[in-house]
Amino acid sequence: MAIARRVAEQIAGSSWIRRMFEEAEELRRGGGQVFDFTLGNPRIDPPSRFTETLIEVARSELPGKHGYMPNAGLSDVRSAVAAYLSREQGVPLEGRHVIMTCGAAGAMNVVLKAVLNPGDEVLASAPYFVEYGTYAANHGGTLVAVPSRADFDLDVEAFGRAIAPGTAAVILNSPNNPTGRVYPESTIRALGDMLEIRSREVGRSILLISDEPYRKLVYDGAAVPSVMKAYRNSVVLTSYSKDLSIPGERIGLAAVHPEAEGCEELIAALSLCNRALGFVNAPVLMQRVVARLQGESVDIRIYQRNRDALYQGLAQRGYELSRPEGAFYLFPRAPGGDDLGFVGALRRERILAVPSSGFGIKGYFRLAYCVEPETIPQALPAFERAIAPYR
């Protein structure tokens, strides 16, 4: 059978990524050490409380323990999450404002399905997590990239100019993938004010979707400001993938601002879309586990040490990069300006990285430093050799 044209195009369009993976696989098969900084797949084990809770829940005897529940999730789980989010966001949420989902990616698809009409636009700051474009297209929408400022902060004015009557939503991702940037409170406030004004001007309430899977991974005492305090027509998405190092378990959520316009209708739509897209409900065992681990996270000091070691090592060797406050990514400039070319040069030194073309801008590369700490000093001489010809 022929596959769908759009899927065939996506496969063809991502052939350079596949080729990159194949070259990486070839490197690995060749033996010897490979320094893999490509994947946001935490190498750090989940916190011990996670494993203890998992075993406890696995052993517990509850009737219908692995059965269906309402599509939005178990009500006691939703209440536990709401209590935690209320403190985090500084806005009082109840269980009914929370929809448990299959990860943040599942949550994003559920939200976009719930609000997009054919031809609608979704705005995101570039560089951005590349799947946003796919997710918008899944539900008949189009992603519009709004270039960030030079320091990777949001360009609120550029967002304001990009908003049109066809704009359904704005995606915010802080701490940011791929830059690691945490947007300051002044930016979030300005964004909220601008969205109020532009919503009135274009005659449509624009939804702010805050994708926050890295919220707990912040360093140097940085804090991620509340989006809900800045703008009421907002939905917060997150997952436990990074907090607890469990990305393969697919557990996350969407939370609707209790004062959002049409809040109840939006909640009903999210619940329906969770079922309609085939997720049905978030995996129930993990719902019970994460409910008991609200606020828990892996020891982020490991990531902070990795960030410091890799940042300093690269800066000393002449790489141009900023020192991000969150997530587990560095986003240096590609020496010479050609990100695909420089990622090839890194690969020849047995370093795997992702070119920024994969994030909607050119001239940078992304390093995921959620690696074992010893990898970094071992890789630095190879980074040194890769940049040498450009100095």
| Helices and strands: H and E segment counts in the chain | 13, 12
- In angstroms, rounded to a whole number, what is the distance separating the alpha carbons of residues 209 and 172? 6
Beta partners for residue 121, in sequence order: 142, 167
Shortest distance (Å) from residue 261 CB to a second copy:
6
Q: Which is nearer to a second copy, 94 or 265 (CB)?
A: 265
Shortest distance (Å) from residue 320 CB to a second copy:
30
Q: Which is nearer to a second copy, 15 or 378 (CB)?
A: 15
Is the separation of the CB atoms in 217 and 326 below 8 Å? Answer: yes
Binding of residue 278 to a second copy (CB under 8 A): yes
Which member of 179, 281, 357, 375 binds a second copy (CB under 8 A)? 281
Q: Which is nearer to a second copy, 4 or 150 (CB)?
A: 4
Residues near 93 by beta carbon (within 8 Å), at least 6 away in sequence: 82, 85, 86, 255, 258
Give me the 303-342 binding string for a second copy, x by CB under 8 A, dash otherwise: ----------------------------------------
Binding of residue 115 to a second copy (CB under 8 A): yes
Which member of 88, 153, 211, 249 binds a second copy (CB under 8 A)? 249
Q: Is the dihedral of CA 161, 165, 171, 172 positive or negative?
A: positive
Eight-class DSSP state of 358: G
Eight-class DSSP state of 1: -
Beta partners for residue 252, in sequence order: 101, 239
Which member of 66, 221, 301, 391 binds a second copy (CB under 8 A)? 66
Site for a second copy in 186-245 (CB under 8 A): 204-207, 233, 244-245
Binding of residue 139 to a second copy (CB under 8 A): yes
Binding of residue 48 to a second copy (CB under 8 A): no
Is the separation of the CB atoms in 127 and 364 below 8 Å? Answer: yes
Binding of residue 374 to a second copy (CB under 8 A): no
Stretch that binds a second copy, among 25-33, 77-85, 257-265, 337-345 (CB under 8 A): 257-265
Residues near 50 by beta carbon (within 8 Å), at least 6 away in sequence: 244, 245, 246, 289, 293, 296
Q: Which is nearer to a second copy, 303 or 342 (CB)?
A: 303
Q: Which alpha helices (H) appear in 116-184, and where do they start and end?
A: 131-138, 156-162
Which of 353, 357, 311, 309 minimizes the C-alpha distance to 337? 357
Site for a second copy in 286-305 (CB under 8 A): 286
Q: What is the DSSP string of 61-104?
A: --TTTTS---TT--HHHHHHHHHHHHHHHTS---GGGEEEESHH
β-strands 365-368, 329-330 pairing: antiparallel
Q: Which is nearer to a second copy, 148 or 173 (CB)?
A: 173
Binding of residue 353 to a second copy (CB under 8 A): no
Question: Nearest-5° angle of CA 292, CA 297, CA 300?
Answer: 170
Give me the 11-30 binding string for a second copy, x by CB under 8 A, dash otherwise: x--x----------------
Stretch that binds a second copy, among 57-65, 176-184, 218-226, 354-362 (CB under 8 A): 57-65
Question: Which two three-digit tokens encode residue 132?
Answer: 């946003």
Which member of 97, 113, 215, 347 binds a second copy (CB under 8 A)? 113
Which member of 72, 93, 254, 284 binds a second copy (CB under 8 A)? 284
Binding of residue 54 to a second copy (CB under 8 A): yes
Binding of residue 279 to a second copy (CB under 8 A): yes
- Residues touching a second copy, count (CB under 8 A): 78
Which member of 33, 41, 312, 316 binds a second copy (CB under 8 A)? 41
Q: Which is nearer to a second copy, 93 or 371 (CB)?
A: 371
Q: Which alpha helices (H) appear in 203-348, and where do they start and end?
A: 263-276, 284-291, 300-316, 339-348
Give kind and range of the element (H or E) at residue 143.
strand 142-147
Shortest distance (Å) from residue 378 CB to a second copy:
18
Binding of residue 275 to a second copy (CB under 8 A): yes
Shortest distance (Å) from residue 363 CB to a second copy:
26
